[in-house]
Structure 1
Amino acid sequence: MVTDILLAPPLAFALFVLISFTIDRVGNTIASDRADAGEAFRTAWASGEEPPESQGRPRYRLYHVGIGFTIIHVAVLLVATIPIDANGAILGVPLLAVVGLALFAIVDAGRPQPGR
């Protein structure tokens, strides 16, 4: 009976907001010693030292691979929740076709093309 009341969506939301607010306030209190440090903790480096003279540019060589894995994992979660019957096949086959096209587009976009 008590668990049914605690799992009611409005009450559960309020409870999670209260827990989040408490964690935020405790973290703010713990981290208040950094407020007096000036600009030392606002630099690009965690230790507060100056960044190097040469600016490094990030390289995203395997970005398309990470996005592809994300698409595959979301598709697996969606397909795993589809019922196993004819209606599920009507939903699942087009979903897998779209995922396949998306993966093909990502892999094809990762290759250098002549003339681009």
Structure 2
Amino acid sequence: MPSYLAQRVRTEIDQRHTHSINHRAVTPVVVGRSASRPSTYVFVVAGRLSGRGLSTHTLTQLDEAGVRLLDSGQRIWLPTTDYPTGWTWKSAPPTPGIRLPTPTTVLTTAQELLLRTRRGSLRG
């Protein structure tokens, strides 16, 4: 997810849900940086999409906003301290006891923000 949208999605989720410890946001997000591309945010989620999935219209809106859905089981590089990969934790990595957001929570929050701002005016 592009940074302009991901930062707002993360804030919205943390404000709506009790995913905070000591008033610190803990929705796990990994940020990839590249000299040739803008920052990409990856949300660490648990579970499956609830309901019947997302409509084609919703998927198109998310795609146009730069949101990419990874296939189940697709691997990504997670940040490590012993080998730099260009990826860093935007927030604390998941630890036992922290409830991860569901894919549905992340995607519906992104869609709500896009609709609320008339798709794209979040870019800053």
TM-score under structure 2 length normalisation? 0.20
Structure scoring higher RCO (CA < 8 A, sep ≥ 6) equals 2
More strand by share: 2
Which structure has the larger Rg over C-alpha atoms? Answer: 1
